[in-house]
Structure 1
Amino acid sequence: MSEEKVEGILFDLDGVLIDSFDAWLSAYNEALEKFGKEALDEDEFREKCWGPEVKDSMKKFGLEEEAVNYCYSRYEANMDKVEISPEINRILGSIEKKMGLVTNTNTEQMAKILELHDFRRYFDVIVHGDDVEKKKPAPDSVLKACKLLKIRPESAILVGDTESDVRAGRKAGCKVIGVGIEGDWRIESLKELPDLLSEISG
């Protein structure tokens, strides 16, 4: 992918820009235990629940809307556990491309996250989970972001950390940088992103 073809960079939120793993783990376990299921350890949670939409994850345990809504409410209560990389401003500020944020997080929750960690200024567009009919791993949010940015999906790179991100990006026609996961390129930390983007564009 040459310099003139890279028109935009799209980012996932959870696990890429913020570390919300502990907050979601607590939220899921509180919901599971409330509705009579066993709590998950970190490995089980990562395998069964990390990445897909909450509704789809809860279906694996035979739980429906009431449990989903409770899980979301407990996530909001656990937002003090959400952390952000101290270098996020340097990393995002170094990218001289159009940028979009594509997340399964809904608008209300995103607003609360931005109250704590305001990195909105770096993004030309933000597509929330409730802005589209189908969340990732469907490509809807990625395609919507590209449309709003007025770029072709084939000229965009999606940065994500789950199989849902990889599938969404590839279904949309984007290249994918995996953070700790295989994509078209792989990095282990967001700190590696600026150098990789320079290499790709070069």
Structure 2
Amino acid sequence: MTKNITTLLFDLDGTLINTNELIVSSFLHTLNYYYPNQYEREDVYPFLGPPLAETFEKINPEKAQEMILRYRKFNVENHDLLVTEFEGVYETIRTLKEHGFKLAIVSTKMRDLIIRGLKLARLEPFFDTIVSLDDVNHAKPHPEPLLKALETLRSKPEEAIMIGDNYHDIEGGKNAGTLTAGVSWSIKGKEHLLSYHPDYMLDSIYDILAIVGVDPS
């Protein structure tokens, strides 16, 4: 139990809402358009987390912007069909808010899709601020997005924890000076996250309540 935590920074995709199927399908739709039958599900797992530009520029710098547009079109059109809730997230986030914790989303998504996902999962009212890809010059694991959220919330890094499903979240937290927590439901697997040495590993979203000293009952 760490009672001096006042602020919780959450990644969104794969952490609070289950966008795994949406993201994997968006990548497969895009990549197999340009490279037919060359990509299967497991091939795109490494692309979950980094900004789209970073991924597509490595694959094809000349067509990266075109590929981003195709990805986003499919992603927006299929968002509400493929996004689902993770068990216990709504209740846990509501409990944290009721206990006075400061809550923020720190994501590599664009703001409009973050808000859409939060509304779909009924989570939007609980968050004090959102830091999206279009708010910063550098995405996670650079500390800029986390420090921007902390500045808005008037919180210090040492009283915050970054929770996410990707190594970008863990390294971003370490770079910003916060505590870190990985989630075992990451599509990349628990062992992958453990190799980046987060301070905590959540086997259930409810585990965060014990870490910050809240009685879940």
Q: Give the letter aligned to residue 19 of structure 1.
A: N
**Alignment CA distance shift 1:90-1:115 (3 Å):** closer
Q: How many Å apart are 1:34 and its aligned residue?
A: 1.9
Matched ranges for 1:120-139 at <5 A: 120-139=124-143
2-side partners of 1:196 and 1:72: how far apart? Answer: 36
Of 111-120 and 159-168, deviating more is 111-120
Residue of structure 2 equivalent to 1:193: 208
C-alpha RMSD over aligned residues: 1.9
Matched ranges for 1:56-75 at <5 A: 56-62=54-60, 63-75=63-75
SS at match of 2:54: helix
CA contact (8 A) 1:12 1:103 kept: yes
**TM-score after normalising by structure 2:** 0.83
State the aligned residue count: 197
Shift >4 Å, 4+ stretches = none
2-side partners of 1:7 and 1:195: how far apart? Answer: 13
CA contact (8 A) 1:9 1:99 kept: yes
2-side partners of 1:140 and 1:69: how far apart? Answer: 26
CA contact (8 A) 1:29 1:39 kept: no
2-side partners of 1:2 and 1:30: how far apart? Answer: 43
1:174-193 C-alpha deviation (Å, 9 max, x unpaired): 11011122211111231322
Matched ranges for 1:153-172 at <5 A: 153-172=157-176
CA contact (8 A) 2:90 2:121 kept: no
Q: Give the letter aligned to residue 81 of structure 1.
A: L
**Alignment CA distance shift 1:37-1:142 (3 Å):** farther
Q: How many Å apart are 1:38 and its aligned residue?
A: 4.2
1:50-95 C-alpha deviation (Å, 9 max, x unpaired): 1111111112322411101211111112211011124222111222
Residue of structure 2 equivalent to 1:84: 85
Residue of structure 2 equivalent to 1:8: 7
Unaligned ranges ≥5, structure 1: none
2-side partners of 1:55 and 1:105: how far apart? Answer: 11
CA contact (8 A) 1:31 1:70 kept: yes
Q: Give the letter aligned to residue 56 of structure 1.
A: E
Given the alignment of the two structures, is residue 17 of structure 1 paired with residue 43 of structure 2, yes or no?
A: no
SS at match of 2:137: coil
Unaligned ranges ≥5, structure 2: 185-192
Q: Give the letter aligned to residue 187 of structure 1.
A: L
Q: Alignment identity in percent?
A: 25
Q: How many Å apart are 1:37 and its aligned residue?
A: 5.2
Given the alignment of the two structures, is residue 106 of structure 1 paired with residue 105 of structure 2, yes or no?
A: no
**TM-score after normalising by structure 1:** 0.89
CA contact (8 A) 1:12 1:160 kept: yes
Q: How many Å apart are 1:148 and its aligned residue?
A: 0.4
CA contact (8 A) 1:26 1:78 kept: no
CA contact (8 A) 2:16 2:85 kept: yes
